[in-house]
Every structure is written in C-alpha cells, then in structure tokens.
Amino acid sequence: MYDDGLVLSYADRPPIRARHLSPLGMTLLSDGVFDAEDLVGPAGTVPAEAWADERSGAYRATEYALCHLAKVPAPEPDFLTDVGTIAMKLPRPVRALLEHADVRSFTQPVLDEDGRFVGIDGHHGDPGPGVDCHVMSADLVRAIWAHTRPDLGQTEQDVRFRTDDSAFATMDGIDGSEMILISIPIMPHGGWVLWGG
C-alpha cells in the first residue's frame, strides 16, 4: 500500500492488481478497523465504502525495467546480469532504441543453485545498488519487443509484451548468441515484483 491509498496486489498469477482506498478507508485503516493484510485478503474483509474503486483493475506502470536474464542455472548465483554485458551484441536498431532509455540499478533477487527464488526477498527488486537494467516507457519496450522471438517451447503469445506483468523473450545477438530479456513493470516506489508475493 502506498501513502496515496493505492493498493497493489499480486497473487501467484498475473496481472498485478490495483485499487485505491477512499479517504474514509484511509481513516478506517489508521484507526485499526482493519489492517494492511486485510487489503489483499478475501473479499468482504474490508468494508465496501473503504474503497474508492468498485473493484480492482490491472496495474498499468508508467515505466518498465528491461533486464538481461542469465541462463538458469547460471554459473554465477545472479538471476540478472548488467545490461552493459550484452550492449554490443544487440542488433543496431535495438541499440538505437536504447539510446532513449535510462539505466538504473536494482537489488538482485536471490536464487538457489537450481534457479528458484529464495524466500520472499527473492521476489522483489528495489532501487540499487545491484544489477543495471534499462528503464523505459511501455512504447519503447514494445518497439524493442518487435526484435525478439519465441524460444524453444514458447509461442508468440508467451513472449508478447505485457503491461501488467513480467514478460520474457529471446533476442538474437549480432554475434549469433541468444539473449533472454525480461520486461518488468516498475512500481510507484521505484522497485518491482516478480511472480507473486
């Protein structure tokens, strides 16, 4: 929950959901009529008049992190690697698009040796230091996604860019290498969340 009453929830399935508390809801929360955990609990836990929105809708981020996904399991324990490690392998049109993106550092999710998240901390990335990712608008991600392709076992539907959840795609490098990219919606606090939590 954010100070302006925005409540984001993410179960184990997409999309990220958004709903706003009403001014009355903010007062009821601060008075202890219900607590923050109730905001994402079963329907009916929080009185209907506490909500400004009749129901939740898909969260639409204004920025997305575009990161390089290490092959899992990777020789190193990192889930993501700095985008600078693949910059010169990217096709020229993609490099030109990335000139319009910022680079921002995020904390690294924690994975075990089999590539599974370790604890709740493994689901979140907060503003750095950590791993460098490009940060950009949805339109810029869509333009870059046009240069990607499905990987083995994926369909076009699997790799389509999503504005309400993370998306994965493979890009062929100019040196013949394959790079896995991940697009992650950035939350209002500047961090992101993956796969529930």
For 131-160, the pLDDT digits (tens) are 889 999 999 998 998 898 866 555 665 556
Q: Is 145 helix (H, G, I), strand (E, B) or coil?
A: helix
Alpha-carbon distance of 162 to 46, in angstroms, equals 30
Q: Render 25-37 in DSSP notation, one character per residue.
A: HHHHHHTTSS-GG
Write the pLDDT tens digit of every residue in 20-59: 999 999 999 999 999 888 888 777 789 999 999 988 888 8
7: left (phi over 0), alpha (psi -120 to 50) or beta: beta
Instruction: Using the structure block, give the residue that is written with the tokens 């995020």.
Output: 106
Q: Are 164 and 141 in contact (CB under 8 A)?
A: no
User: Each residue of 71-103: pLDDT tens digit?
Assistant: 654 444 456 788 888 889 999 999 999 999 999
Question: For the chain, what are the domain ranges?
Answer: 6-58, 64-193
